Amino acid sequence: MKAMPAVRTAADALLTSMLAMPDAISNQGSGGRRPAPRFATRLRGGTASTRSARTIVPAPRSINRPSRMDTLAAVNPIILIPARMASTRLPGKPLAGIGGRPMILHVLDRAREAGIGPVAVAAAEPEIMAAVQAAGGTAVLVEADLPSGTDRVKLALDALDPAGRHDVVVNLQGDLPTLPPDFLRAVLAPLADPGVDIASLVAPIESAEEAGAPSVVKCACAFPEGAEVAPALYFSRVAVPSGEGPLWHHIGLYAFRRAALERFVALPASPLETRERLEQLRALEAGMRIAVARVAHAPFGVDTPADLERARAALARGSRA
């Protein structure tokens, strides 16, 4: 659907200023409302930290192309953080206080610290947008009644970057306040292979309890000695693959090529996605390629009051993950 001129003007102005200045920038004023069946947007002034140049990502060792260590992949990422107040186990968690600040602002900090591109929040409610803007951040209001955070990211991207300047979209969950910023750089590594549509992360599973927990998503992948990136062949809530060898904990951080994101959200839910309750299986069933980079450990997400206390203690110590 064609945007109203006021919204497009606001979006273009925001992206132009984000791309033109290497340091934090400030925008004043507000834009209009973008008419769409499932999407409401308000573009307000904010601050975004970015680099004007494209991010240069060293190509990792891959099981498909071991010689690609000497190549470079130039990408122009934007980080989008979907956030909503509705949570069954921890209602209102984006605004839950950690060290006197809402959790969403800690996630925003981690994204900015990565230094890979501009950052914005795709907010499902006005109070989230207000908290981000009050702290000098950029936020887009999207309708709360959407199927997933990925849908929020896509609609926020359409509003912020209608000209398509950003070719990679990093989807960062809004409940990861202790995420090491290095992980946001690591997730770009699989995109050094031009055949990869979606990149993500895995970490080694360290206990039988972790392997058996349905809340821990496992990735079926294999890393030959020295390789840092591998194709993701399947995802499940049970321990896969069977037999001797390491198991890998999937981390729900994604870097989409823009065309892959557009294709993904247009696809219907797939049979295995519905069965496992894992939306990344939709991409695999559609023939899209997902590759994962490995990191040393899995960060924890804030889903319960106990998780929130753990995050408060970790950030009070100044620790990550």
Q: Say what the pLDDT of residue 321 is.
A: 63
pLDDT exceeds 50 at position 27: no
Q: Are the beta carbons of 256 and 282 closer than 8 angstroms?
A: no
87 band by pLDDT with thresholds 50, 70 and 90: confident
Q: Are the beta carbons of 74 and 54 closer than 8 angstroms?
A: yes
232 is written with which tokens? 């993701």
Q: Are the beta carbons of 25 and 116 closer than 8 angstroms?
A: no
**pLDDT tens per residue across span 120-173:** 999 999 999 999 999 999 999 998 888 899 999 999 999 999 999 999 999 999
Q: Say what the pLDDT of residue 64 is.
A: 44
CA dihedral 316, 200, 192, 75 (to 10 degrees): -60
Q: Say what the pLDDT of residue 227 is.
A: 95
* Residues in contact with 171: Cβ distance below 8 Å, sequence separation at least 6, in sequence order: 80, 82, 149, 150, 153, 253, 254, 255, 256
DSSP assigned state of 268: P
pLDDT exceeds 80 at position 57: no
Q: Say what the pLDDT of residue 89 is.
A: 85
Q: Say what the pLDDT of residue 48 is.
A: 40
pLDDT exceeds 50 at position 32: no
Task: Concatenate the DSSP letters of all residues of 16-41 into one string.
Answer: HHHHH-SS-EE--SB------TT---
pLDDT exceeds 70 at position 282: yes
2 band by pLDDT with thresholds 50, 70 and 90: very low
Q: Which residue range forms the structural domain that includes residue 50?
A: 5-317
The label of the residue with tokens 């190549």 reads 71
Residues 147, 285: Cα–Cα separation, whole Å:
19
Residue 55 backbone dihedrals phi, psi, to 5 degrees: -80, 130
Q: Which carries the bigger pLDDT value, residue 25 or residue 41?
A: 41
Tell me if residue 171 falls in helix, strand or coil.
strand
Closest C-alpha to 160, from 137, 131, 176: 137
**pLDDT tens per residue across span 222-246:** 998 999 999 999 999 999 999 999 9
Q: Say what the pLDDT of residue 36 is.
A: 37
Residue 281 backbone dihedrals phi, psi, to 5 degrees: -70, -25
Residues across the chain: 321
Closest C-alpha to 205, from 293, 276, 296, 292: 296
Mean pLDDT over the full length of the chain = 82
pLDDT exceeds 60 at position 28: no
Tell me if residue 291 falls in helix, strand or coil.
strand
Residues 258, 261: Cα–Cα separation, whole Å:
5
Highest mean pLDDT among 8-12, 26-30, 244-248: 244-248
Q: Say what the pLDDT of residue 320 is.
A: 67
Tell me if residue 68 falls in helix, strand or coil.
helix
Q: Say what the pLDDT of residue 55 is.
A: 58
Q: How many domains does the chain have?
A: 1
Q: Which carries the bigger pLDDT value, residue 162 or residue 321?
A: 162
Q: What pTM does this model have?
A: 0.79
**pLDDT tens per residue across span 203-215:** 999 999 999 999 9
Residues 255, 309: Cα–Cα separation, whole Å:
29
Asked which of 67-81, 130-144, 208-222, 249-263 is least confident by mean pLDDT, the reply is: 67-81
Q: What percent of the chain has pLDDT over 90?
A: 70
Q: Say what the pLDDT of residue 144 is.
A: 83
Pinpoint the alpha helices (H) of the chain.
Answer: 5-20, 103-114, 126-134, 149-160, 181-186, 208-212, 258-266, 271-276, 280-285, 305-317
Question: For residues 247-270, b (16+ Cβ closer than 10 Å) or e, as one string?
Answer: bbbbbbbbbbbbebbeebbeeeeb
* Residues in contact with 207: Cβ distance below 8 Å, sequence separation at least 6, in sequence order: none
CATH of the domain at 56: 3.90.550.10
